[in-house]
Amino acid sequence: MAISIRQLHKHFVGEVSGLDVRQPLTAEQAREIEAAMDKYAVLVFHGQDITDEQQMAFALNFGERENPRGGNVTRKEDYRLDSPLNDVSNLGKDGKPLPRDHRAHLFNLGNCLWHSDSSFRAIPAKYSLLSARVVNPKGGNTEFADMRAAYDALDDETKAEIEDLICEHSLMYSRGSLGFTDYSEEEKEMFKPVLQRLVRTHPAHRRKSLYLSSHAGKVVGMSVPEGRLLLRDLTEHATQPEFVYVHKWTLHDLVMWDNRQTMHRVRRYDQSQPRDMRRATIAGTEPTVKQQLQAAE
């Protein structure tokens, strides 16, 4: 059966049918999906009851796995998953929701802020593929914003003002904005800021996007307050309902997004109940600005 795609939002998001992601893709199918990602920026696949290995294998059609080091404060011995997926659940190793005051839980709450995955890395992520294994009974929708449409809607004066601006991104900025500020020396080293352009151009179709993220905490050449106000204004603009798609999860949905042209956030949910979400992350291929690549291997 051929793949078919129905657009779910005025600007972006395609709902894909006719594909079982557990089956290996032909080169032609992989190209078709990637072309759809370029166009829709977010793709929704329903009814994909997959294992971690199947999820990773599907993701690897679109690039290489991103090295997860430096993306969280969970100690290796506390990892719940022994697969190559990022654990985006609220669960501990015992399979139960983490206590509300647990450090990893407090850190993970940062996903409720608008962000683009791994914008705190020198080479930020290309795609994220998130699979719903247990859906939380209350809240927990994931929202996506189309940063191309948001860029297009800016006035010419703003476009000119921001064209060449560079921002500093760090997990310490996003978490710091929620009041999470205690880090070990090792974590401070790991979370050192990286530079990203504020306006980036998509490698396939060359459309420009606003490259915003709650990880951005400074604009190079501006005072901190001035820079943060600009970032806030742009974020407020880019996340108006006009540019936002709200995904209400159904068990076994797989949602795939292009971090180079979207932002996302998860809404608050019932932390006393499980929410098991697992993410495969595909690495980007180049920095958005020329800089020393961090020796983060």
**Interface with Mn ion by CB under 5 A: which residues?**
117
Pick 61 or 174: Cβ nearer Mn ion = 174
Pick 16 or 88: Cβ nearer ligand OGA = 88
Taking a C-beta distance cutoff of 8 angstroms, is the pair 20, 11 a contact?
no
- Among 16, 277, 280, 282, the residue binding ligand OGA under the rule CB under 6 A is 277
Pick 122 or 130: Cβ nearer Mn ion = 130
- Among 37, 43, 88, 244, the residue binding ligand OGA under the rule CB under 6 A is 88
Report if residue 130 touches ligand OGA, rule: CB under 6 A.
yes
Q: Which does 266 bind (CB under 5 to 8 A by kind): Mn ion, ligand OGA, none?
A: ligand OGA
Taking a C-beta distance cutoff of 8 angstroms, is the pair 103, 224 a contact?
no
CA distances from 245 to 129, 188, 212, 278 (A): 16, 34, 17, 20
Nearest to 238 by CA among 8, 12, 70: 12
Dihedral Cα 22, 27, 31, 36, nearest 10 deg: -30
Report if residue 264 touches ligand OGA, rule: CB under 6 A.
yes
Q: Which does 119 bind (CB under 5 to 8 A by kind): ligand OGA, Mn ion, none?
A: none
- Among 73, 263, 266, 282, the residue binding ligand OGA under the rule CB under 6 A is 266
Backbone phi, then psi, for 55, in 5-degree steps? -65, -45
Pick 87 or 168: Cβ nearer ligand OGA = 87
Rounded Cα distance between 212 and 237, Å, is 11
The single-letter code of the amino acid at 172 is M
Instruction: State which H helix or E strand residue 54 sits in.
Output: helix 52-59
Q: Which does 277 bind (CB under 5 to 8 A by kind): Mn ion, ligand OGA, none?
A: ligand OGA
Number of residues that bind ligand OGA (CB under 6 A): 10
Q: Which does 142 bind (CB under 5 to 8 A by kind): Mn ion, ligand OGA, none?
A: ligand OGA
| HEC string for 118-162 | CCCCCCCCCEEEEEEEECCCCECCEEEEEHHHHHHCCCHHHHHHH
Residue nearest to Mn ion (CB): 117
Report if residue 258 touches ligand OGA, rule: CB under 6 A.
no
Q: Which of residues 101-120 bind ligand OGA (CB under 6 A)?
A: 111, 117
**Minimum distance between the CB of residue 215 and ligand OGA, rounded to whole angstroms?**
12
Report if residue 142 touches ligand OGA, rule: CB under 6 A.
yes
Report if residue 253 touches ligand OGA, rule: CB under 6 A.
no
10 Å CB burial of residue 57 (0-12, 13-18, 19+) is middle
Report if residue 128 touches ligand OGA, rule: CB under 6 A.
yes
Rounded Cα distance between 185 and 25, Å, is 44
Pick 197 or 247: Cβ nearer ligand OGA = 247
CB-side exposure of 272: number of CA atoms within 13 Å?
Answer: 0
How many residues make up the chain in this entry? 297
Pick 97 or 124: Cβ nearer Mn ion = 124
Pick 129 or 165: Cβ nearer ligand OGA = 129
Rounded Cα distance between 195 and 78, Å, is 31
Binding residues for ligand OGA, rule: CB under 6 A, are 88, 111, 117, 128, 130, 142, 264, 266, 277, 279
